[in-house]
Amino acid sequence: MAVLPHTNGVHVVNGRPSTHSVHKPSDDGFSTRAIHVGSEPSSETGAVIPAISLSTTFKQDAIGVTRWGYEYSRSANPNRDALESMLASIEAGGSDALAFASGSATTSTVLSSLGQGAHVISVNDVYGGTWRYMNRVAASVQGATVTSLDLESASEETILAAIQPNTKLLIDIRAIADLVHSHPIKPLVLVDNTFLSPFYASPLLMGADLVLHSLTKYINGHSDVVMGALILPPHQKALTATLRFLQNAIGAVPSPYDSWLALRGAKTLALRMKAHGLNALALAEFLSTSPHVLSVTYPGLASHPRHDRAIDALSPHARTWISKLTPDKAGIPFGGMISFRIKGGEEAAEKFLTSTRLFTLAESLGGVESLAEHPARMTHGSVPEEERIKLGIEGDLIRLSVGVEEQEDLIEDVKRALDIASRL
C-alpha cells in the first residue's frame, strides 16, 4: 500500500504550532496532561478554553501554501488536532493519536489497513459490533478470516499454533504481547482499552502495538458524543502514517464540535474513573452477598479468580492512587463495569432491568449516569446464539455501567430491583 503523508506543514493547536506526536513532561501527572495538553491558552486572544473551528476550508497564501498545514477539515482541523494531542499524552506510552467518527469506524480503518486476505486472531468475547464487522463485513469485502480464542485461558502453545502465515492482527488484552511478538510472523497486537480507559490500564506499556478506544464511553464520559480513537507508541511511525492516510482517504472523521466536547470531557477523566471504580467495588461487594444473585464478575473483587491479574494490569498512575487508599478487604477499584447472573433466569433479568430507578435501561456505557442492559438481547444481539452460549452470555446475565451518583443510592436502587425481580 502506498502511504501518503497526512500533513503538508506544521499543525497548530489552539493558536500554537504543534504536531500529533506529543512530549509528556515526566513531572506532569495524568490529570495535568488531560487538562493542559491540547488546551494551551491561545497565543492570539489569550482564551483559556479552545475555540471551536467550524470552517471546512482554509485560506491558502499561494497555490499549495497553507497556514499551519490546514487546507480542508476532513484532512486536519484544529479541534481534532487538539484532541489527538491530548489522547496521545494520557495513554501511557503513546506518541500519536488518530480520532474517528465512531469506535466502529476506528475498527474498520484498522482492518482496512491489513489489506486483502488477512487473518485475525481475536479474543472470543470481543465487543459485539467488532465481531459483526470482522465476520460479516471484513470477511465479505476483504476476504478476512478470524480465529476466536479464549485468550484468558489459552496456553502459549495454542496461541502460537493459531498464528498463520497471513496473520496480521491479534486483538486481546495484556500479557500475550511478548509471546506474539516472538513469533516470526510478528502480527500486530491491538488492545481495546475502552472499558478500563487510560486511567486504569496502559496496554502500550505492556507491549501492545496500538490501542483502540470508543471515546463515546469513558473518555468523553457524558453520553453526548459518538467517536473513536487509536493511540500508537513512538516505534510505530510507519503504521501511524498508513492509518492517518486511511483516516483522510476514508473520511470517517469526527466533527470539530464533537472533538471539542471530547477534549473537554477528558479533563475530568481521572476524577470520574476514581468515582466509577469506588462505586463499582462497593456495588460488586453488595451483589456478591445478595441471595438473589448467582455470580458476580468484577475483577476488582478479591474473590474474583483473576483478581491478581487485574492488579498486575493496573496503570502506574492507578496503582499509585490505589496504594494511597485505605485498604479494603473486598478488593480494589478496577473500572466501572460489572456483570452478574440473577436467579430466576431471563424473566427475572427483564423484571430487574425494568424496575431500577437510577440505572437506566440503555445500550452503551461509561457516562456519569448509571446504565443497565441485557447483553444477550442488546449489545451482543448480533452474535449468533450458539456463540453467545459458549461465551456465557445467556438470559440471566445483566451488565451494569456504574455511574458516579451517590454510592448508597445506587446500592439501594439495585437492592430494590432485585427484591422486585425475586417475587416472580
**Residue closest to 422 by CA, chosen among 355, 324, 360:** 355
Task: Provide the 10 A C-beta neighbour count for residue 173.
Answer: 21
Residue the block writes with cell 501518503 = 4
Q: Is 88 in contact with 231 (CB distance < 8 Å)?
A: yes
**Residue closest to 283 by CA, chosen among 195, 380, 171, 413:** 413
Torsion angle of the four alpha carbons 257, 89, 401, 171, in this order, in degrees rounded to the nearest 10: 110
Q: Parallel, antiparallel, or unpaired for β 96-100 and 119-123?
A: unpaired
**Residue closest to 310 by CA, chosen among 297, 299, 321, 319:** 299
Q: Is 74 in contact with 93 (CB distance < 8 Å)?
A: no
For residues 62 and 153, what is the distance between their CA atoms, to the nearest angstrom? 60
**Residue closest to 219 by CA, chosen among 262, 256, 190, 258:** 262
Task: List, by residue number, the catalytic residues.
Answer: 74, 127, 192, 217
What single-letter DSSP state applies at residue 229? E
Q: Is 314 in contact with 322 (CB distance < 8 Å)?
A: yes
What single-letter DSSP state applies at residue 70? B
Q: Is 272 in contact with 218 (CB distance < 8 Å)?
A: yes
Q: Is the alpha carbon torsion for 387, 390, 396, 398 positive or negative?
A: negative
For residues 350 and 337, what is the distance between their CA atoms, to the nearest angstrom? 19
